[in-house]
Amino acid sequence: MNYKKCLANVLITTLATILLPVLVLRATPQESAEKTGAELVIANGSLVYWTDVKEISSKNKAFPGIKPDTNVEDPCKIINRTREIDFSSALLEDSKTSAGTRPLVSFDGLNLMEHGSGWPPSTSGDVGLKYYIQAVHSSFGIFDKATGALLGARTFDDFFPAACGEPCDTNNNADPIVMYDQIHKRWIMMISAWVGSTNGSYFSIAVSQTSDPTGAWWTYCFKADDVLMISSPRCGVWRDGIYVTANMSAFGGAYDHSKIWAIKTPDLYKGTLIAQSTTTSSLRSFSMIPNCLRGQMQPPFGSPNYLYSIDADEFGGSHTDALHVWRYKVNWSNPGQTTLTGPAILPVAPYDLTSSRIPQLGTTWTLDSLYGRLMFPVVYRRNLTDVQSVYLCHVAEYMGSRAMRWYEVRIKNGTSSIFQQGTFAPDATHRWMGSICANAEGTIALAYSASSTRMYPAINYTGWRRGDPKGVMGLGEKTLIGGTGAQSRISRWGDYSMMTVDPVDDKTFWYTNEYYSFTAVAPQLPDWHTRIGSFRIISRESTIPPGAPEIAAALDIPEQKFINKGTWEFAVTTASPYFGTSCVGNPAALTNSESCRIETTCSGKTTVKFWWKVSSETGWDYLNFYIDGILQDRISGEVAWRQQVYTVSSRPHTLAWVYIKDSSDSAGADTGWIDNVEIN
């Protein structure tokens, strides 16, 4: 293939004590973008650094070594096995299975012997409309998400074209990340790259030109720093761009500071990379992670990206157990007005960090839990009632075991506060390497590695549903796959695992992590495997079937079908009905920033009548009535039974009653009631 390099000017702007360079990179697509045989069409770009193009002559095609580890017996042996992608049309035939009835799947992902080049795999993956892409230490694979079939795998060195720019052509070293942008329907892949210790460090970045990852991609060689090495990069999709964070250090040296980049979209998806960056030298920013948007509700226009890290009193000095929050607000029109503020400190329930070690069955070799840092990704969701939630997790100590600490943070008027938190430790098993996500129903899934002296490392998960007590994973513990071997002679288990949610239904969770099928015996090196699986957590509202007869009967219209669709369920109550012996009201357990919703439908020119009353915080907590999603009326405070009458046209309509609480305080009975519904 022939690739064209397009040069662009670079704007550098200084803002107070932080540097905000604006990098512009343009990628030009191949003039005839066609797939032939097993060839993958790639559109390529080259980077302009500051005021000149820096040519790199080194073409040493070396695979990365093992990261330093005091428990490694032989850190120099590297295994290289690659597998080419076959993009033949036979393999890419669409699944005929309905998205709503597709069975849950669990299948093996990439493994060391065929696709890896070192330890740990740092397993990352995300799900799109038809495919799942997984990335490990030096390779990625594309899977049919309906069947689990591997359509093909390639190393990042092989994937990035020779014209992309050294070292992104041949020295992609560590920490790959895959993300699917649900808003723009694009895939993003990123991996760290460098040559030696004198030429700085880079990001190799690829973005798909459509939602189909087997088609054309834009590729970029992006210089992250002229001198320092990037480590532990993390990223997140946001309204205006892709946000990236990394720890910066001298090659072979200690942590120096954290760096943050914002890469503008949708320009990135059209062949032009425009970026800003800033730094913070605060030790509290170590391993900070940006918000990653999930779902179709975007953050408010102009919202900054929120970045989080954890703190612990074990770190010494004035450190306490807390979450730290930064706000990175990028101004693309005037970079001089871009700001990084924080950290705001959110005290959390106390926890300990006494040991990082994880025992395994059948060996004295222990694993590193990576305690002291937040796990990836940090997930942001916004729902229809404008509640903005952020989900985070990390390892903590509980009764001598490593356990998963998790949080739901709420953002209100730009301020973060902890809504709920918990530590999942149902027994003495150690749990670590977790990842957390929430779906459209507000259901939370938390998955992780689990091990002890009585079991090999397994991949387990749990969940929280609306109606569970705050901070309590009411689902209990489930197993995605049980390990049948331990990792020997290498302590580092991984940098992260990854939980995501299916963009098709916004309910099904997908998770990927590593495990072992057997324990290696010297001189054989440990051979890691990975697993990819999807699962549903049945919400409490889903247990109420459409047309629940007890609801309809309490509303005195037994022939009508009602559906509970809120974060909590309306329930039958015998307390002070308007007519008969019962009516329907929201539960007292409903709390701040939550809602309760019930719906029904009607057709034909119709008169709708019902009675309602409310006892709530005046002017803040409301019982609302909607027709086809349009608010008709609402009541708040202390309102006695009154009747409402509406006439609707002949087409079908959706009628909804919703009790909505604001972010703080309560008054009265904190309840709205409905009774004696007539649809004539």
Strand (E) positions, 304-387? 305-311, 322-329, 339-347, 357-360, 363-368, 378-382
CA atoms of 315 and 338, how far apart (whole Å): 31
- Looking at per-residue confidence, does 540 or 672 come out higher? 672
Q: Are residues 416 and 492 in the same domain?
A: yes
Contact 297, 303 (CB under 8 A): no
Q: Are residues 293 and 429 in the same domain?
A: yes
Positive or negative, the CA dihedral 570, 573, 576, 580 is positive
pLDDT on residue 54: 24
Question: What amino acid is encoded at 168 in this protein?
Answer: C
User: Has residue 16 been placed in a domain?
Assistant: no
Q: Are residues 549 and 503 in the same domain?
A: no
User: Has residue 220 been placed in a domain?
Assistant: yes
pLDDT on residue 161: 83
Considering only CA atoms, which of 266, 103, 181 is closest in space to residue 500?
Answer: 181
* Cross-strand partners of 644: 610
Helix/strand/coil (H/E/C) assignment for every residue in 100-166: CCCCCCEEEEEEHHHHCCCCCCCCEEEECCCEEEEECCCEEEEEECCCCCEEEEEEHHHHCCCCCCC
Considering only CA atoms, which of 463, 453, 460, 442 is closest in space to residue 497?
Answer: 460
- Looking at per-residue confidence, does 72 or 297 come out higher? 297
pLDDT for residue 191 is more than 90: yes
Residue 163 neighbours by CB distance under 10 Å: 17
Average confidence score pLDDT of the chain = 82
User: Has residue 321 been placed in a domain?
Assistant: yes
**Which band of pLDDT confidence, cut at 50, 70 and 90, is reported for residue 566?**
low
Least confident of 261-275, 629-643, 658-672: 658-672
**Which helix (H) or strand (E) element contains residue 551?**
helix 549-554
pLDDT for residue 546 is more than 90: no
Q: Are residues 364 and 324 in the same domain?
A: yes
**Which helix (H) or strand (E) element contains residue 420?**
strand 415-424
Positive or negative, the CA dihedral 263, 264, 270, 272 is negative
* Count of structural domains, the chain: 2
Q: How many residues does the chain have?
A: 680
Q: Are residues 382 and 442 in the same domain?
A: yes
What tokens does 507 get? Answer: 């309910």
Q: Are residues 243 and 207 in the same domain?
A: yes
- Looking at per-residue confidence, does 546 or 493 come out higher? 493
**Which helix (H) or strand (E) element contains residue 391?**
strand 388-398
User: Has residue 349 been placed in a domain?
Assistant: yes
Cα of 501 vs its chain's centroid, Å: 8
Residue 63's contacts (CB-CB under 8 Å, 6 or more residues apart) are 78, 80, 117, 118, 138, 157
Considering only CA atoms, which of 516, 497, 445 is closest in space to residue 178?
Answer: 497
User: Has residue 13 been placed in a domain?
Assistant: no
- Looking at per-residue confidence, does 58 or 467 come out higher? 467
Q: If you average pLDDT over residues 504-529, what whole number do you get?
A: 93
**Looking at residue 66, what DSSP letter applies?**
P
Q: Are residues 552 and 526 in the same domain?
A: no
Considering only CA atoms, which of 505, 570, 507, 512 is closest in space to residue 538?
Answer: 507
Query: Which of 490, 518, 540 lies at the terminal end of a domain, its last residue?
Result: 540
What tokens does 156 get? Answer: 């990042």
Query: Which of 540, 563, 579 lies at the terminal end of a domain, its last residue?
Result: 540
Contact 445, 404 (CB under 8 A): no
Residue 444: which domain range? 23-29+40-92+111-540
**Looking at residue 71, what DSSP letter applies?**
T
Q: Are residues 520 and 598 in the same domain?
A: no
Percent of the chain with pLDDT over 90: 65
pLDDT for residue 608 is more than 80: yes
Taking the CA atoms of residue 600, residue 605, residue 609 and residue 615 in that order, the dihedral angle to the nearest 10 degrees is 50
CA atoms of 180 and 189, how far apart (whole Å): 9
Burial class (CB in 10 A: 0-12, 13-18, 19+), 669: middle
Q: What is the pLDDT of residues 342-396, one digit of tens each?
A: 999 999 999 999 999 999 999 999 999 999 999 999 999 998 778 999 999 999 9
Q: What is the pLDDT of residues 158-187, one digit of tens each?
A: 999 876 777 998 999 889 999 999 999 999
- Spell out a b/e string for 219-250, using b for 16 or more CB atoms within 10 Å of the CB, else e: bbbbbbbeebbbbbbbbbbbebbbbbbbbbbe
Contact 478, 447 (CB under 8 A): no
Least confident of 408-412, 428-432, 645-649: 645-649
Percent of the chain with pLDDT over 70: 83
- Looking at per-residue confidence, does 73 or 549 come out higher? 549
Query: Which of 540, 558, 579 lies at the terminal end of a domain, its last residue?
Result: 540
Q: If you average pLDDT over residues 611-634, what whole number do you get?
A: 93
Q: Can you give the CATH number for the domain in which 603 is found? A: 2.60.120.200
Q: If you average pLDDT over residues 447-472, what whole number do you get?
A: 94
pLDDT on residue 27: 52
Least confident of 168-172, 451-455, 639-643: 168-172
pLDDT for residue 497 is more than 60: yes
**Which helix (H) or strand (E) element contains residue 552?**
helix 549-554
Q: Are residues 195 and 314 in the same domain?
A: yes
Q: Can you give the CATH number for the domain in which 198 is found? A: 2.130.10.10
Going by DSSP bridges, is the β-strand pair 322-329/339-347 parallel, antiparallel, or unpaired? antiparallel
Contact 489, 459 (CB under 8 A): no
Q: Are residues 533 and 549 in the same domain?
A: no
Number of H helices, E strands in the chain: 3, 44
pLDDT on residue 468: 86
User: Has residue 253 been placed in a domain?
Assistant: yes
User: Has residue 282 been placed in a domain?
Assistant: yes
Q: Are residues 535 and 548 in the same domain?
A: no
User: Has residue 106 been placed in a domain?
Assistant: no
Pick the most confident of 38-47, 75-84, 358-367, 473-482.
Answer: 358-367
CA atoms of 455 and 473, how far apart (whole Å): 22
**Which band of pLDDT confidence, cut at 50, 70 and 90, is reported for residue 24?**
low
pLDDT on residue 522: 81
Considering only CA atoms, which of 365, 360, 354, 353 is closest in space to residue 450?
Answer: 360
pLDDT on residue 6: 26
pLDDT for residue 467 is more than 50: yes
pLDDT on residue 604: 83
Considering only CA atoms, which of 237, 270, 224 is closest in space to residue 126?
Answer: 237
pLDDT on residue 567: 61
CA atoms of 200 and 223, how far apart (whole Å): 8
Question: What amino acid is encoded at 664 in this protein?
Answer: S
pLDDT for residue 591 is more than 80: no
Q: If you average pLDDT over residues 228-252, what whole number do you get?
A: 95
Considering only CA atoms, which of 330, 404, 290, 276 is closest in space to residue 19?
Answer: 276
Least confident of 89-98, 200-209, 313-322, 529-538: 89-98
Q: If you average pLDDT over residues 274-288, what whole number do you get?
A: 93
Q: Are residues 287 and 140 in the same domain?
A: yes
pLDDT on residue 100: 30
**Which band of pLDDT confidence, cut at 50, 70 and 90, is reported for residue 65?**
very low
Q: If you average pLDDT over residues 129-140, what whole number do you get?
A: 96
